[in-house]
Amino acid sequence: MSRDAALRTLEIEAAGLAELRAALEGPLGAAFEQAVEAIFRAEGRIIVTGMGKSGHIARKIAATMASTGTPSLYLHPAEASHGDLGMVTAKDVILALSWSGETGELRDIINYSRRYRVPLIGLTAGADSALGQAADIALILPRVAEACPLQLAPTSSTLIQMALGDAIAMALLDRRGFSPADFQQFHPGGKLGAQLATVGDLMAKGADLPLVRAEADMASVILVMTQGSLGCAVVVDAQGEVAGIVTDGDLRRHMGPDLMVRPVREVMTANPRGIRPDVLASAALAEMNARRISVLVVQDGRWPVGVLHMHALLTAGVA
C-alpha cells in the first residue's frame, strides 16, 4: 500500500537523522564547531555550492543563512566555470556540498579556492574523496541508507545534508544573538513580516492620538472620539500620565440622560493596562484576545505614545 511505503520512507529517514545526531555528538562535532567559527568570522560572504540534488539543498542552505544574518549566496558550479568564479573573493568562505565528494563540476571551484586561499568547507559522505581531502574543514556525513528501495534516488542523504545546513544556520543565529527584530529586517513581507511587526510599527500616534484631560466632561470626550477612528479616548492627568481610557464599551455601560455632563473620571476605565511600543504585534494580539478588548494604550513608562487598535492588526495581516 502507498501508506506503507510512506511510513517506511519516514522510518528510514528518521534513522538517518538519528545517525547524523550520533555523528555530531562524536567525530563530526569538532569539525562542525570549526565550520561555524570559520563562517562566523568570515569578513565576506558564504558561497554555497553543489550540483544536482545537492545543489537544490545548497540553495536552501544559502537562503536560510541569508535570512538569519549570515550574508550568503548560491553559486552554480557550471556557471562558476564560465565566469561566475569572479563573484568569489579572498574574504569569502566556500561551503561545497557533494554526497560522493567526487562531483566533477566542483573541480574548478575547488581548484580556485586552493589557488586563491579561499577557505573551503566540504560537506560530504566521502572522507577520502576529492572534496573531503581538499577541504580545509571536512564535514563528513554518515553513509545513511536511502529510503529509495533501489538505493538510487537521493532521499535520506539529501535530508541529512539539509539538516546539517539548518544546524549550521541555527548555531550561527545563536552565536550572533539574532533577535526577532533582526529577523524582521530580512522578512518584511507576507504573514511572517506582519507577525514580526512591533506595536510601535502599527500604533496610531502623534496627531492621531486621542488625548483628553482628566478634568474634561463627557461632551468634549465624545467629540474627540468621533473626530478620530479609534473608538476611544486616552485620559491623562495634569502631568500627562495615563489616568484612564474611555471606549465605546464604556459609553454603552454608562448610557443615560446625564452622560454628556458627567465628568470623564466617572465613566473611564481607570489605570488601563498599557503595552510597550517594542512588543511584537503578535503578542499584542494575543493579549487583546485574552482580555477580549479591541484597543490598547501604548505607553513609555506612564506616558501615552500611541494607541493600538485591532483594526490596525487586521489591516497589517497580523490577526
According to the model, what pLDDT value does residue 67 have? 83
Mark whether 109 and 228 lie in a shared domain: no
Last residue of a domain, one of 148, 178, 208: 178
Q: Provide the number of structural domains found in the chain.
A: 2
Q: In the chain, where do the E strands start and end?
A: 46-50, 72-75, 93-97, 120-124, 137-140, 211-213, 232-236, 242-247, 269-270, 295-300, 303-309
227 in a structural domain? yes
Mark whether 144 and 204 lie in a shared domain: no
According to the model, what pLDDT value does residue 243 have? 94
* Rg (the chain; Cα; Å): 29
Mark whether 154 and 31 lie in a shared domain: yes
**Distance (Å, rounded) from C-alpha 123 to C-alpha 140?**
6
- CATH number of the domain to which 121 belongs: 3.40.50.10490
| Residue type for position 274 | G
The Cβ of residue 278 has, within 10 Å, a number of other Cβ atoms equal to 12
**Rounded mean pLDDT, 146-152:** 85
Contacts of 48 (CB under 8 A, 6+ apart): 58, 59, 61, 62, 65, 72, 73, 74, 75, 94, 95, 96, 97
Measure CA of the first residue to CA of the last residue in the chain; give whole Å.
41
281 in a structural domain? yes
Q: What is the SS3 assignment for 304?
A: strand
Q: Which residues pair with 280 in a beta bridge?
A: 198
**Distance (Å, rounded) from C-alpha 26 to C-alpha 17?**
14
Confidence grade of residue 188 (pLDDT, cut at 50, 70, 90) = low
According to the model, what pLDDT value does residue 150 have? 81
Last residue of a domain, one of 145, 178, 211: 178
Mark whether 173 and 30 lie in a shared domain: yes
Mark whether 60 and 170 lie in a shared domain: yes
Nearest to 16 by CA among 164, 169, 170, 172: 164
Look up the domain containing 162 and give its range.
2-178
Pairing of strands 303-309, 295-300: antiparallel
Q: What is the model's pTM?
A: 0.66
Per-residue pLDDT at 186 exceeds 60: no
Last residue of a domain, one of 135, 151, 178: 178
Per-residue pLDDT at 205 exceeds 60: yes
Mark whether 20 and 166 lie in a shared domain: yes
Per-residue pLDDT at 156 exceeds 70: yes
283 in a structural domain? yes
CA distances from 252 to 215, 294, 296 (A): 21, 15, 19
210 in a structural domain? yes
- CATH number of the domain to which 226 belongs: 3.10.580.10
Mark whether 92 and 16 lie in a shared domain: yes
Mark whether 7 and 90 lie in a shared domain: yes
Tell me which of 48-57, 65-74, 187-196, 266-275 is least confident. Answer: 187-196
- Residue 281 near residue 297, CB atoms below 8 Å: no
Q: What percentage of the chain has pLDDT greater than the value 90?
A: 73
**Rounded mean pLDDT, 249-257:** 90
Mark whether 150 and 260 lie in a shared domain: no
Mark whether 218 and 147 lie in a shared domain: no
Mark whether 259 and 159 lie in a shared domain: no
Tell me phi and psi for residue 35, to 5 degrees. -65, -45
Q: Give the number of C-alpha atoms closer than 13 A to the C-alpha of residue 104, restricted to the C-beta side.
A: 0
185 in a structural domain? no
Cell of 166: 539548518
Mark whether 233 and 127 lie in a shared domain: no
**Rounded mean pLDDT, 58-86:** 93
205 in a structural domain? yes
Per-residue pLDDT at 78 exceeds 70: yes
Across the chain, what does the average pLDDT equal? 91
Confidence grade of residue 222 (pLDDT, cut at 50, 70, 90) = very high
